[in-house]
Amino acid sequence: MAEVLSQSQIDALLNAARSGEMDLDAPTEKKQEQKYRKYDFYSPRKFTKDRLKMLNSIFEGYARVINSRINALLHATCEIEVDSVEEQRYYEFANGLNESDVVSLAEIDLEHLKGDDPILVHLDTPVVLSMLDRLMGGEGDPDPTISSEYNLTDLELNMYEDLVSDFVPILGGSWENYITIQFSYIRTEVNPTLVQLIGYDETVVIVGLNIKFPNCTGRMSLCLPGEMLTNIFTEISKNNSRRTTGEDKSEEIFDTLRESELEIVAELARTRILLSDLYHLNVGDVVDIKRSKDSPVFLNIGGRRWFDGHMGTSNKQVAVKIGETYIKM
């Protein structure tokens, strides 16, 4: 409902308009411009939001596992969380690397899924030095005298390789809910800017993990090749389609049903008589069912006709021999 102005407010507005203090041409309310995200048609997105959400949940599980692993290995309190899962071109990942950085290479064990490009693992140099310092008995305090272009020594590089080779195989357990694959460490590259590990225009997914120690913070980045992920997602879709058909569960279902008990009713014939005749029936009376003695007997299960057969005996007991099946099982 619009606000009703008092007489004094109306007079004040008229006086302001006459004196020029109020600009009548100015818009009373500026419309907020709606912003749209630009779409790059040169490099269209290869993975849907659902796929990226799947990767986010996978690496959240991975973050929890290596979090407990680092805490036990370094005897320190550490927090690891997934910061981002983004589809990019490889050059966007490569442009963020320095000549002094170290990148580890990994792969999966299934030949038809791995593709031509390796998986890349990168940790920020400050957090690497903090972890190595803790391994050697230190407190992991960052050294302010070390520059951002610090090169790892041979000893530090060997210790770093041991750490990464321990973190990489753990990644396979995070995929168990979707597919069974194993990850293995290959080697470590020093100065990755001189080595073209992946084509610069190749599609990759960059997963960023924030690592927080009480006295140091850093980032762990995993570069997943697009071809490898496409092959994995295709295999996951195949496995899901097989599960939805129910073929794998059919034997288990039938094993349960085989133990179920059902009532079988043998129907000799049907006839109609008067209620007065039914009332006067006695032992020895005969009811005409208007069928010959060789006529089949119908077997009903759950109110439906399943079989017909013929009356007989088995082990001196009245029995019915199955003849024809009406419902296919």
Which homologous superfamily does the CATH classification assign to the domain defined by 49-245?
A: CheC-like (3.40.1550.10)
pLDDT digits (tens, 9 = 90+) for 232-286: 998 888 877 655 544 556 777 777 777 778 888 888 888 888 888 888 888 888 8
Confidence of residue 196 (pLDDT cuts 50, 70, 90): confident
More confident residue, 53 or 32: 53
Annotate 20-84 with DSSP letters as a single string.
T-S-TTS-SSPPPPPP-PPP-SSS---S-HHHHHHHHHHHHHHHHHHHHHHHHHHTS--EEEEEE
User: pLDDT at residue 296 above 70?
Assistant: yes
Contact yes or no for 223/93 (Cβ under 8 A): yes
Domain ranges for the chain: 49-245, 260-325
pLDDT band at 5 (very low <50, low <70, confident <90, very high): low
Q: Using the predicted structure, report yes or no on whether residue 23 has a pLDDT greater than 60.
A: no
- Segment 94-123, tens digit of pLDDT: 888 888 889 999 999 888 888 888 999 999
Backbone angles phi, psi at 117, to 5 degrees: -100, 145
Q: What is the pTM (predicted TM-score) of this model?
A: 0.61
Q: Which CATH number fits domain 260-325: 2.30.330.10, 2.130.10.10, 2.70.98.40, 2.40.50.100?
A: 2.30.330.10
**Amino acid symbol at 102:** V
In 204-243, which positions are buried (b, 16+ CB within 10 angstroms) versus exposed (e)?
A: bbbbbbbbebeebebebbbbbbbbbbbbbbebbeeeeeee
Question: 87: closest CA among 219, 197, 224?
Answer: 224
Strands 79-89 and 317-325: unpaired
